[in-house]
């Protein structure tokens, strides 16, 4: 591990959060309009295939078949799709709601998304289905759709809200204004210094496709101690009963990281731990994935997210994860 990559274990405990709220009155007419986010969802046939795969897995009555292993796909998209703004937590919606939103070239985004799904099918979904003993015909069909680049639909992008057309936040479709506001926030704040003296922030996509985006500083040493900390800024779009205008709510908090992987007795009884891989490049990238625990010790295997994390950082996570944690790649 070099100074350019690092794993940090999050320390849970009391924290102080500072919150401010701003009313959004629209983009001034004289301001150059930002690029609205491109939004993508599954095609109807892709949704049908995923539902059948999930149903067959559920019919096995095995615990690991209760839901698709979608967390790996979320992380693969985080690592591959540049300009990612929002990302859904689950990938089996029954309607045409967005799976993710990103800014950038449409072809580049679609190419990266299809490659992410291809890696997920090969390294996570197929081994998961084979372990359950289910038929893989639908997975074969899903893989073929991916080769033909037919997995995603481009969904309409919301308009940029100017003062004359700011939607009524209490009556309008929330996504029609929240997505574009969050895209504007992401493009404006990522890679800038939000906290004096702590360097540039990177975007963290470990939340649901919801109403907020988080930005985090590279971990720094705490004065007089061994632990590390990051300052975190969370920007959310919210409504208030007293106003038809949307609010931008900004929260600042301190995140504490441990210097070493927690001892096995501290994690005994837990089944998984969330691991954040940070790559200090331009811009900094953060990918969050889940690691299985056995008797308090991490057990990584080759799946889509481990593949993407290794690809992003240049490190191998298939071997012992514990020595990688410390001043070097990041665990929550």
- The model's pLDDT over 107-148, given as tens digits with 9 standing for 90+, comes to 999 999 998 899 889 888 999 999 999 999 999 999 999 999
pLDDT value for 194: 92
CA 304, 309, 315, 320 torsion-angle sign: negative
Specify the pTM: 0.66
Count: domains in the chain: 2
Residue 241 lies in a domain: no
Asked if residue 310 belongs to a domain, the reply is: yes
- Confidence (pLDDT) at 145: 94
**Pick from 155, 173, 204: which residue ends a domain?**
155
Q: Domain range for residue 284?
A: 264-324
Q: Can you tell me the distance from the alpha carbon of 284 to that of 175, in angstroms, rounded to the nearest whole number?
A: 27
Query: Which positions of the chain have pLDDT values less than 50?
Result: 1-7, 302, 304, 316-332
Q: 146 is written with which tokens?
A: 């991916």
Domain assignment of residue 190, yes or no: no
Residue 236 has φ and ψ, to the nearest 5°, of -125, 155
- The per-residue pLDDT for 109 is 93
Dist. CA 36–CA 15, nearest whole Å? 34
* 234 within some domain: no
Q: In the listed set 155, 178, 195, which residue is the last one of a domain according to the structure? A: 155
Q: Does residue 308 lie in a domain region?
A: yes
Within 13 Å of residue 95, how many CA atoms lie on the same side as its CB? 1
pLDDT for the residue 276: 72
- pLDDT at 329 (0 to 100): 37
Q: Extract the tokens encoding 12.
A: 């849970």
Beta-ladder partners of 23 = 247
Element (H, E) at 231: strand 228-240
For 286-320, the DSSP string reads EEEEEEEEETTEEE--S-HHHHHHHHHHS---SS-
The pLDDT assigned to 15 comes to: 55
- Of 134, 155, 176, the one marking the end of a domain is 155
222 lies in some domain: no
Residue 68 located in a structural domain: yes
- Closest to 286 measured CA to CA, from 73, 75, 9: 75
Q: What gap in Å lies between CA 227 and CA 221, rounded to an integer?
A: 6
CB-based contact 200:284 (threshold 8 Å): yes
Q: Which residues touch 174 (CB under 8 Å, ≥6 apart)? A: 211, 237, 239
Q: State residue 94's pLDDT score.
A: 56
Distance CA(43)–CA(38), nearest Å, equals 15
283, 191 Cβ separation under 8 angstroms: yes
> What share of residues in the chain are helix, strand, coil (percent, to 5)?
30, 30, 40
Report, in angstroms and rounded to the nearest whole number, the Rg of the chain calculated over CA atoms: 21
Q: For residue 157, what is the DSSP state?
A: P
Residue 281 belongs to some domain of the structure: yes
Q: What is the pLDDT of residue 225?
A: 67
Q: Which H helix or E strand runs over 49?
A: helix 44-59
pLDDT score recorded for residue 50: 92
Tokens of 33: 């309009």
**Beta carbons within 10 angstroms of residue 48's beta carbon:** 14
For 121, the enclosing helix (H) or strand (E) is: none
């Amino acid at each position: 591990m070099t100074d350019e990559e690092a794993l940090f274990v999050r320390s849970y405990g009391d924290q102080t959060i500072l919150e401010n709220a701003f009313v959004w009155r629209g983009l001034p007419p004289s301001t150059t309009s930002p690029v609205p986010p491109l939004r993508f969802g599954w095609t109807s046939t892709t949704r049908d295939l995923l539902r059948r795969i999930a149903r067959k897995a559920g019919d096995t009555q095995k615990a690991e078949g209760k839901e698709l292993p979608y967390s790996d796909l979320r992380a693969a998209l985080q690592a591959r799709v540049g300009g990612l703004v929002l990302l859904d937590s689950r990938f089996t919606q029954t309607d045409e709601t967005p799976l993710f939103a990103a800014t950038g070239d449409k072809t580049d985004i679609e190419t990266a998304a299809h490659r992410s799904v291809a890696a997920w099918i090969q390294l996570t979904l197929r081994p998961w289905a084979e372990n359950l003993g289910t038929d893989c015909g639908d997975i074969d069909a899903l893989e073929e759709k991916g080769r033909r680049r037919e997995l995603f639909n481009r969904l309409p992008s919301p308009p940029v809200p100017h003062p004359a057309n700011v939607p009524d936040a209490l009556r309008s479709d929330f996504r029609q204004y929240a997505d574009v506001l969050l895209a504007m926030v992401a493009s404006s704040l990522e890679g800038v210094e939000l906290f004096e003296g702590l360097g540039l922030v990177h975007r963290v996509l470990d939340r649901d496709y919801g109403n907020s985006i988080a930005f985090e500083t590279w971990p720094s040493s705490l004065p007089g101690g061994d632990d590390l900390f990051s300052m975190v800024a969370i920007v959310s779009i919210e409504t208030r009963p007293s106003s038809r205008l949307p609010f931008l709510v900004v929260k600042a908090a301190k995140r504490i990281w441990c210097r070493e992987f927690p001892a096995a007795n501290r994690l005994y009884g837990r089944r998984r731990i969330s691991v954040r891989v940070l790559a200090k490049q331009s811009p900094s990238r953060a990918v969050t994935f889940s690691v299985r625990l056995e008797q308090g010790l991490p057990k990584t295997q080759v799946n889509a997210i481990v593949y993407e994390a290794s690809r992003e950082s240049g490190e191998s996570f298939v071997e012992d994860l514990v020595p990688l944690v410390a001043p070097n790649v990041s665990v929550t």
